[in-house]
Amino acid sequence: MKRIFFFSAMLVLFLSCKEEKQESTAENTESYEINTENWDKKLAVKPKAEAILKDWAEFAALETSFDALYTVANRDDLNLVIENLVAKQNELEESTYPEAFNIPQVKSRQKVFKTYALKVKGDLFYRTDPEESVVQMIEAYNAFRNQFNVVVNNTLDTDLILDL
């Protein structure tokens, strides 16, 4: 009687462990693919700002790295793109800004973009779903690009206001 109970308990234990292992691999394969169709597109920069940005090589490198974000197919591709994006962003941060864009408003938008890029990197490292973080990073990047448009369209002379 003891042997029958022992062997039946071992059989139940063996079968229950095996089923959980199959379910966990099914979950990993589903979340491995990344759908980029729902992501916002990159915001356009106006010609006045584009004329200033064309001579900024570090920004052009960041643009190229960001464009690669829309070509990812899985988590590994996204990880490589984010690593490259963070590296290019660090180079941009250390570079010399064009005079028109060397202002706190632009630099703060860049820091927000860097924060969300690192958040995506953390999500990939901890194997959580990076979808929400990627959308937030794209929004921050668009705000960064929009700030260039705001700066070139701002015709208010701050020195004149401060003199009053």
62-108 per-position pLDDT tens digit: 999 999 999 999 999 999 999 999 999 999 999 999 999 999 999 99
- Residue 114 and residue 86: Cα distance in Å, rounded? 7
In the three-class reduction of DSSP (H, G, I as helix; E, B as strand; rest coil), residue 74 is classed as strand
Architecture of domain 37-163: Up-down Bundle (1.20)
117-140 per-position pLDDT tens digit: 999 999 999 999 999 999 999 999
Tell me the β-bridge partners of 33.
74
Averaged pLDDT, 43-54: 93
